[in-house]
Each structure stands twice: as structure tokens, then as C-alpha cells.
Structure 1
Amino acid sequence: MAVPDSERIAAAQAYISALASHKADDVPFAPGCTRVEVGLKTGFSGNHLRRSLNRGLQYRVIEKVSTPEFTIDGDTVRAQFELSTTPKLGGRSVGARIDETFLIPADDPSGRAQIHHINASIRPFLTR
């Protein structure tokens, strides 16, 4: 039985929400999930990604995320959103436009939506 698109989007949303909440215990990572950010591998397993989101300094600076725009193409769920961080640079906040593609198979053998891979593209910007 195929995993509904709504559940696949909910899995991606759980990850995006955890970026700002720093609470990733309920993000449905597949055990072997990996993450690549601008060509560099930054996630080595589901447990590694969960620990990083919960306690990693690289994520602690993320303050909030916008509501994502989702599209689905086959087994991939694409999310486009913006995030803002707490650090200031010359009195301006640092933000980023994020384009992440999640591999969340519709026919996952587990029968539920699980994130198997994340590919992230990040474009930083400054705001007033």
C-alpha cells in the first residue's frame, strides 16, 4: 500500500519544524538517512541527524522558519522556505532561502513515510 502524499509532506514538515524547535525526536528518519548540503555530506544516519537537530550548534542559531511550499515528484518531496537566525551582522539579521529535496518513497517497505535522504541548497541573505 502506498504512503499518502499528505504523510510524506508531514514527514518533511517535521524535519523543517525541528530546525527551529530543536526537537527532532519525532522526525521520521530512516535509519540510513543521509543529508547533503551544498555538495557536502552533513548527515550520516537518522540518529546522527536527530542528535544534530536536537543539540548541534550549527542548528542552534536557527530561530524560525517560514511556511514551506511543497511539491511532489515521484518519490521526492521538495520544500522551499526561508529561515532566520539569531546572530546579527552589522545590526542586520542573517537569513537563508532554503530549497530541500527529501527522498521519501511512496512505497516504503515500512509502510510509513520515512526520510531516506535530504539534499539542501542554501542561499544566505541579510535583513533589516
Structure 2
Amino acid sequence: MIADADRIAAAQAYISALATHRADDVPFAPGCTRVEVGLKTGFSGNHLRRSLNRGLQYRVIREVTAPEFTVDGDTVRARFELFTKPSLAGRRVGARIDEMFLIPADDPSGRAQIHHIKASIRPFLTR
């Protein structure tokens, strides 16, 4: 069994990579997928890693807040906020993020790997 703390650390690695744009150490399973508000945005672990490292959709992210984690079975849930770099009239776009990570406690690899991410996003404006 993989400890909850290790599974949370895997999810945290992904969340940190949103703002650092350094995803080489995010433990994606090879077949990892990501769904954002009903649309598939991640097609494999390598695709997600490349997107986080170089994708324009992630490059606009300036920072993320410390997540609140809960674990339920094989699911690690993270709630946090992110803030973008661009501003318009002194206002920035932020988003409240609720992500569900499928990180099986009994992964055959013997380590915490992200197999699927489901993201819910609620944008807001901030100063």
C-alpha cells in the first residue's frame, strides 16, 4: 500500500508545476489523462508533462495557493486558487480549482502515480 502522504505529494508535484512550469518530476502514469470542465486536455503522462513545461495555456499562470487535500479511497482531492500573470486595468484573472487525482494506493508500480485528473475551474477577477 502506498501511503496517503506519498499520494498527496504526487498531487502537490503537479500543482506546483502549474506555476513553476517544471514538470519533469511529476509522477504521471504513462496513460494518465486529464479532463477539464468536461473536455479532455491531457492525453498521456508525456503529453501532460510537455504541456506543463511549455504549453501557453499554463505559461500565463503566475502562482498557486497552498492546496487543501482530502483523500478518499484512490482519489486525492485538492482545492486551491491560481492567479495569472496578465492584468487588465489593474485586475488579474484568478480561478478556484477543485481537482480530483486518481492515484491508486495499490499501484502495481509500487509508487504513487497520477492516473487521471478531473478539474473543475471557477474563474474570478482580483486586484
Aligned length: 127
Structure 2: gaps (5+ residues): none
Matched with 1:30 is: 29
- Within 1, Cα distance between the matches of 2:37 and 2:86? 21
CA deviation after TM superposition for structure 1 residue 103, in Å: 0.1
Matched with 1:126 is: 125
Structure 2 residue 33 is the aligned partner of structure 1 residue 7: no
Residue correspondence of structure 1 range 80-99 to structure 2 within 5 A: 80-99=79-98
Structure 1: gaps (5+ residues): none
Runs of 4+ in 1 over 4 A off after TM superposition: none
- Within 2, Cα distance between the matches of 1:4 and 1:91? 44
Matched with 1:46 is: 45
Percent identical pairs in the alignment equals: 84
Amino acid in the other structure paired with 1:114: Q
- Within 2, Cα distance between the matches of 1:90 and 1:43? 33
Matched with 2:105 is: 106
CA deviation after TM superposition for structure 1 residue 91, in Å: 2.1
**1:71-117 deviation per Cα after TM superposition (whole angstroms, max 9, x unaligned):** 00000000000000011133201100000000000000000000000
- Within 1, Cα distance between the matches of 2:92 and 2:56? 18
Q: Secondary structure of the residue that 2:109 maps to in structure 1? A: coil
- Within 2, Cα distance between the matches of 1:4 and 1:92? 41
- Within 1, Cα distance between the matches of 2:101 and 2:108? 17
Give TM-score, length-normalised by structure 1: 0.98
Amino acid in the other structure paired with 2:60: V
Amino acid in the other structure paired with 1:103: L
